[in-house]
Each structure stands twice: as structure tokens, then as C-alpha cells.
Structure 1
Amino acid sequence: MSDTKLERPDRKLSCEPTLDNEAQTTIVGNKQGGWITFPFITVSTLGLTLASSGWLSNLTVYLIQQFNVKSIDAAQVYNVVSGCATLFPIAGAIIADSLGCFPVISVSSFISLLAVILFTITATSSSLKPPPCVNIGSAAAAESCKTPSKLQYGLLYSAIALGAIGMGGSRFTTATMGADQFNNAKDQGIFFNWYFFILYVASAAGATVIVYVEDNVGWGWGYGIAIGANTVGLLAFLIGKRYFRHAKPKGSPFTSLARVLVATIRKRKVAVSSQTQDYYYGHGDLTKLPYPPPTPSFKFLNRAALKSEEDIRVDGSAANQWRLCTVQEVEDLKALIRISPLWSTGIFVSVPIGILTSLIILEALRMDRHVGPHFKIPAGSFLVFLLISTALSLCFMDRFFYPTWLKLTRRTMTPLQRVGIGHILNITAMAASAIVESRRLHVARSHHLDDQPGSIVPMSALCLVAPLALVGAGEAFHFPGQVELYYQEFPASLRSTATAMVSLLAAVGFYLSTVVIDLTRRVTGWLPDDINHGRLDKVFWMLVVVGAINFVYYLICTKLYKYQKR
């Protein structure tokens, strides 16, 4: 599949092995690493993802139905948790750089297990959740609903926090550790193809099977399945310890960036030189001249590499790395600054996705979710259509779209072009969502359901599939395109941050989506607790306008950006 380029940066997120020949020989002799580790990582990924998807996909519904949380507030909580789940992998990668992947994944998997156990306790104990609302659908429904106590809220949010931490520490770090078991790019590519396939399958299974059990059999049973899946995943990972290749932890790639900033501040009064010999290129640099001088862009940062007598030891090494950095480290930070405008355009791609994926569950709760006379799709399972669309779009692009593009243009599609198509599809998805919601509100008013709180609109919820499919197709373009762009454009020493940059985009997008929703609630009347009384369609049209403005900004950034020479 074409997502091999997307996947390859993940192995560099942390824990990349730096083994000498002797160490590699020892590993081969002990039969550590290689495909013998694949079953353990596969089972671990299946179990952990199944468990996390099972509670996260249906979190909005759980908050509304079991804890009497208002619908928009529940959507806000979902966005915050989703943001944490995409932000914490960055922290997990940094910790893994210092401690190693195995302990981080082991502890995170155990924390995830504690989370689903706590969810199960809150779901099965009537004293740990408020009594259910009575007279649902009447005007007095809001008055009959009791809010959770401080203890009940404390246990609930403890479970949510533990679950987010567990996901953050295990998901991408497991991919990294799995890739570290192989020595050649071909095996790593095959591993990543299977890893992401398993991740999609497990996510879809959790969002369908476990969510269905939660909605139709019982929340305790659904969370009980999640406990079993998490336990199996944790045990499989621990059993595989003897077969894993354990890479030696290395320093965080973010440390050098911080050192450049600190050194620049400390030398802020020093005049910038134009002479190559005044700069530090690393230990022993005098024997390897000539070197190119630092680039003139962001010239003030060049101070971090300026040498002085107090900065250099007798042997030529830096006396204090927080005062003297190499020219390469300075140029690495400059490269990040140059690409940051392009990175920022991805924020307003993530924000609409965060808003859509949270509010579309509220729409599904107020629509007819029956497929045939006996089956009813759980509201939390609708996000599976997004996963399916992304997976199918990746296959379609790999087998048909990209080869056809190459034949017609005689050029390979660039990462910037792929991201641009993703922007367009994302805007189209918001417009489709607005049209569907306008139709839903029209049906509600024609049946006078806007005067009946909590009423189900007689309109098939399958209409929501089209916007979700467009979002999924957009993700198949812009997500791999962004990772490929950062992987190609980042300096070699900082390619480990490529995946982290995209993960950070998703996190910022989810957090900002909560801000946008909250601001919209305060300024307009579009988002009441009962969306049948609101104008959710106007929210989506607003996102269309924001997306169009952001796309123009993206085109300006791409016009000004110059690919780095490799």
C-alpha cells in the first residue's frame, strides 16, 4: 500500500536502535528480534486497541445515558479526551527515548487495564452513578435528571484520564518497537502495513462489537469484554519480552532544539559573524573545513553556534552544550520554523473533523438508526464508516488513483498536492454535513418534533455516512501527505518528530474544536442541549467558510515554500 511512506516515520518516533556490530551479532545469536516477535505484537495491538476503541467510541453515549451529562457537554468531553489520546503519544515517545519502549508500553497497558476496570465498576454499581432520568421526552425531563456527585464524577473522570494515558503510551510506541525488531526497510515496510491494518480492524471491531454489546446487552458486559481484551494484549506483550530486541534508550530529539534557543538567548548581545571559521561545526571541525556558513534566514539564531574562548575546551569540544551548539543543530531548528506555516494550516483541517465526529453522534441519537426490522446501529458505531472510508480510500489511491495520475501527468503526486486534495475533501464533507442536517431539521419541523424534546426524527441515520466517507477520504490524502512532507523536509536528525508533528496537529485540532463549540454556544443559539431546537447546519456552514479561508492560506504557504534540496 502507498501508506508505507506514512508508516516509516513512525519507527523513528522513538527508541530507534543504535547497535554496533558486536551487539547485532549477540542479538542474532540469541534469536531476538525478527518475525518471531510479530505474533506477540499483533495480539498485543489487537487487545489494547479493541479495549480502548470499545470505551472511547461510545463515551458520548455513556455520559448522556448513564451520567445524565448534557449532550453538547458530552461532545465536549469526547473532544478533550480525543485530543489527549492524540497528544499523549508525543509524551510517550519522549519518555520512551529516555527509558526504553518496553517499560513504557508495559506500564501504559496496565494503566489502560485499570481504566476499563474502573469503567466497569462505574457501569455496574448503581451507587457510583446518578439515577436515570425519568419522563425522557417531556418538558420536565431536564428537571428530573440528577447530576452526578463529586465522588461519581471523580471515578468517572479518573477512568477517562487513565484510559487516555494508557492509549497515549502504547499505541505509537508499540509500532516503533515492532519496527525496531527488523534490520531492513523491506521487512519494516511489511510490518507497518500489517500493523496499521490490524489497528484499523481492531478499532472498527471495538466501535461495532463492543459498542453493540454496551447498547443492547449491558454496559457492564461491554466493558467486561474490554477488560478481557486488554488483559490478553498485556499478557501477550509481557510473554514476548524474551524474544524482543531491546534498543538502548537515547536522548530526546527535542533537547537540541531547546539548547539552540537557550544558547541564542544567552548570546543575544553578541554580534553575528559572516566568517565560517567563527562557527562551531562539532568536535574536530577544524580538520574538516571548508564548511558552508550558516544560512542567512533567521540570522539571529546563528549566535547559538558562534564560538568564543570560553566555549571551547582544549580538545576542541564544546565546554557547555547549552551555550554552544553546532551549525547543524541551528539549521535543524530553522528548518522547523520554515515549515511551521504549512504545519499551521493543518490545524484548521483537524478542527472541523473534531467537531464533526463529536456532533454527528448527537445527530445519530436523534435519527432512525434501524437497518431492517430487527437491527439498530448504535450511535457510537457510526464513526466506523470514517475508518472504513479511510482504509478503502488508501487502497483505491494505491492501486488506481496514483498510477493513473502518473500516467496522465508523468509526475508523481507531491505531498503538498495530496494535502491540498485533503483540504478540498474536508470542506466538501462539511458542506455535505450541513445539507444533511438542514434536511433533518426540515423533517423534524414538518412533523412538529421540534416542540417535543428528545424526539427521534423519522429520517434514516445512514444519511450521515456520506459526510463521514468524505472525511475518511480526505484523511487518506492529507494525513499521509503531511507525514511524508515532514519526513522528507525535516533534517535527518529531526525526522523522529515527523509523526509527532501530525499527532500534535490532531491534538490541537480536538482541543480547539471544544473552544469553537463553546464559543458558538455562548454567542449564538445554534447549539442547545436538544439539537432538534438548534441550527447545527449553520455550525457546519461556518466550518465550510473557515475551511475555505484556511485553504487559501494553505495555497499561499505552498506558493512561498521551497522544497529543501536533498
Structure 2
Amino acid sequence: MVLNTLLPVNCIMDTRTEAAQLATTGRKPGATMGTLSLAAGGWVSNLIVYLIGEYNVKSIEAAKIFNIFNGFITIFPIIGAIIADSYLGCFSVIWISSLISLLGMVLLVLTAGLEPLRPSKCGNGSYLCSDPSKIQLIILYAGLVLSALGVGGTRFTLATMGADQFDKPKHRGIFFNWYLVALYIPSVISSTAIVYVQDNVSWASGFGICVAVNVLGLAIFLFGSRFYRYVRPQGSPLMGLVRVVVAAVNKRKVKLSMKGEDYYQQLHDGASTVMAATPTQFFK
């Protein structure tokens, strides 16, 4: 992910179509972007308890499911960053991911609020519990996957787009400090206050708070869209690495030429050409 100091001015735009006026765009709007992280932790912190208590999932299986979705939350930000750098840009990835996260949270609210979407609870002291049906699991997993996708699409891109709003490295450093504050304080709130609501009021109320916060964060983000700076997608360096690996695999059986002129490399105008050493099969 690249910052605007590494880019020519004509790569930085406002309204996504015109070159940005650097004196009038950015700065303050970047500080509001951290609010979208508030809804992420509400469903993650208490997921194991929800699976065991409401879906009659055994503790070991619940821990496995929790670890799988934690893995998704770790991997999806990389995918979101590649898409933002190569194709859509940070702004589009952020609002699309936030909308996807909202849809996932709505599904989780429905699973918590509608009894037909959950298996019947175990009787007191009974070890015979009904397993969730396939449709119940599909709806539950769909909500979890969508929520994880939403978290992944915003985690890195929010930080990058926020930093693009500032000209000076000092201001970017301040932004990153406050961005981390806005990222971790909601985690504390979700692990305490929202978990308390889920355990002592209702699961639907706890998930409903996450939905409300998600809607608020998305609305604030879109409301400030005319003030943001937009950086054109420049292409992800990871895609170049992938192409190199693919080319190396495809050409793994190609016989090496012993002619030095076959290994000249095209250089920029004015640069002197250097003959490459004759390749061998050994490291020296």
C-alpha cells in the first residue's frame, strides 16, 4: 500500500475523477475512519460461548470454528489490500467491505432473535441435545463469513486511506497513533460491555449494538466522501511476485543458453548495458 508522498500529484484525486487540491482535501476526515472498527469485535469475543450455548456445539468443535474464523480475519486483510492496490482503490473496498460486514451482522442478529434459526436448547441436566440443521448452520456460517470479510476489507485499507489524507510525515504519525487507539479501544469495549449485554440481556441485543455501530461508521465514512483524497490503484507488488513464481514454474524445464548475448537486459535510455554472467547449475 503506497502513500501519497510516493506518488505524483496527478495520481491523487478528489471526487475520484479530478486532481485533488492538496490544501483543501484530506486532514481531518482521515481521523473519522477508525470508527468502522467498532463493530468487528462484538461477534468475535463471545463466539465460542454463542456456539456452545445456542447451537449445542461441543466445546472442542466450537474452539475449532473460532480458530478458523480468526484465521479468516487474518488472511482477508491481505486480499482486501491487494484488491485495493490493484483494482478498486481503498475507498471502494472500504465501503463495500463495510456493507458486507453489515449484512453478516444482520444474519447473526436473525440467528439470535428467531428461534427457528437455532436448534432447541438442551434440557436441564440433559446430555441429549439436538444438533443444528443444515439450513441453520448455513445461515450461521454465512453470517460469520460475511462479517469476517468485512473486517478483512477494512483493516489495512482504512489505515492506508487515512494516511493518504495527510501531507506531512508528522501528521501521518499522529494519525496512526489515533488509528490504533480507535482500533483497540473498541476491542476492549466489545470484550466487556457487549459481552455483558450478550450474557445478561440477550444475544440479539448484543449483536444489534454491533449492527447499529456498523451502520453509524459506514454513514460517517460515506458522508465525508467529498472531502477525501483518492489515490489511483497503482498495482500490488505481490502480483508481480506471483507472476515471477508462475513464470519460474512454467519454465522450470527450459534449457539454459550458453550464449552471453541471450542474457542482455533492456535498460532505460542512457544507461550502459552490462553483459550478464553465463548461467550455471551451481551456486558459488
- Give a deviation string over 1:41-64, Cα, whole Å, max 9, x none: 1xxx23x32211011110000000
Question: Structure 1 100/72 Cα, relative in aligned 2: closer, same or farther at 3 Å?
Answer: same
Instruction: Indicate whether 1:82 and 2:65 are aligned.
Output: no
Checking the alignment, whether the CA contact within 8 Å between 1:15 and 1:250 is kept in structure 2 is no
Identity among equivalent pairs (%): 43
- What TM-score comes out, normalization by structure 1 length? 0.45
Given that 1:112 and 1:167 are in contact with CA atoms closer than 8 Å, whether structure 2 keeps it comes out as: yes
Gaps in structure 1 of 5+ consecutive residues: 1-11, 301-566
- Give 1:120's match in structure 2, choosing from 109, 128, 152: 109
Of 125, 138, 141, 1:157 maps to 141
Aligned mates of 2:69, 2:278 — CA distance in 1 = 42
Conserved? CA contact 1:17–1:247, under 8 Å: no
C-alpha displacement at 1:279, in angstroms?
A: 3.2
> In structure 2, do the counterparts of structure 1 residues 80 and 263 end up closer, same or farther at CA, with 3 Å as the change threshold?
closer
User: Which letter maps to 1:37?
Assistant: P
**Is the 1:18–1:247 Cα contact (8 Å) retained in structure 2?**
no
Specify the alignment match of 1:36 in structure 2: 28
Superposed CA RMSD = 2.8
Structure number with higher helix proportion? 1
Q: Does the 8 Å CA contact 2:260/2:278 hold for their aligned counterparts?
A: no
Match of 2:264 among 259, 262, 279: 279
Superposed, which structure 2 residues align to 1:57-96 within 5 Å? 57-96=45-84
| Counterpart pick for 2:127 among 142, 149, 156 | 142
Counterparts of 1:455-470 in structure 2 under 5 Å?
none
**In structure 2, which of residues 175, 189, 197 is the aligned counterpart of residue 213 of structure 1?**
197
Letter in 2 for 1:179: A
CA distance in 1 between partners of 2:139 and 2:281 (Å): 49
Q: Which of 222, 229, 233 matches 1:249?
A: 233
* TM alignment of 1:153-302, pairs within 5 A: 153-264=137-248, 265-266=250-251, 268-271=253-256, 275=260, 278-284=263-269, 287-289=270-272
| CA distance in structure 2 between the aligned counterparts of 1:255 and 1:100, rounded to whole angstroms | 15
Contact 1:15 1:248 in 2 (8 A): no
Distance 1:70 1:282, change over 3 A: farther
- How many pairs does the alignment contain? 276
CA distance change for structure 1 residues 162 and 16 in 2, over 3 Å: closer, same or farther? farther
The alpha carbon displacement at 1:257 in A equals 1.8
CA 1:168–1:116: 2 relative to 1, 3 Å: same
**Residue aligning to 1:389:** none
Structure 2 distance, partners of 1:159, 1:85, is 14
Change (3 A) 1:63 1:297: farther
Q: Which amino acid aligns with 1:253?
A: P
TM-score by length of 2: 0.87
For 2:16, the equivalent position in structure 1 comes to none
- Structure 1 counterpart of 2:41: 53
TM-superposition CA deviations, 1:239-274 (whole Å, max 9, x none): 111111010012221232233234433374242669
CA distance in 2, matches of 1:61, 1:131: 16
Match of 1:374 in 2: none
How far the C-alpha of 1:197 sits from its partner, in A, is 1.7
Partner of 1:363: none
User: Following the alignment from structure 2 to structure 1, what is the Cα–Cα distance between the partners of residues 278 and 198?
Assistant: 59
Note closer, same or farther for the CA distance 1:110–1:22 as it changes in structure 2 (3 Å cut): closer
Structure 1's 206 and 69: CA in aligned 2 closer, same or farther, altered over 3 A? Answer: same
AA partner of residue 61 (structure 1)? V
What do the CA deviations read for 1:534-563 (whole angstroms, capped 9, x no partner)? xxxxxxxxxxxxxxxxxxxxxxxxxxxxxx
Contact 2:106 2:211 in 1 (8 A): yes
Deviation at 1:191, TM superposition (A): 1.1
Distance change in 2, residues 1:19/1:297 (3 Å) = farther
Partner of residue 20, structure 2? 27
SS in 2 for 1:92: helix
Q: SS state of the match for residue 183, structure 1?
A: coil
1:148-547 aligned within 5 A: 148-264=132-248, 265-266=250-251, 268-271=253-256, 275=260, 278-284=263-269, 287-289=270-272
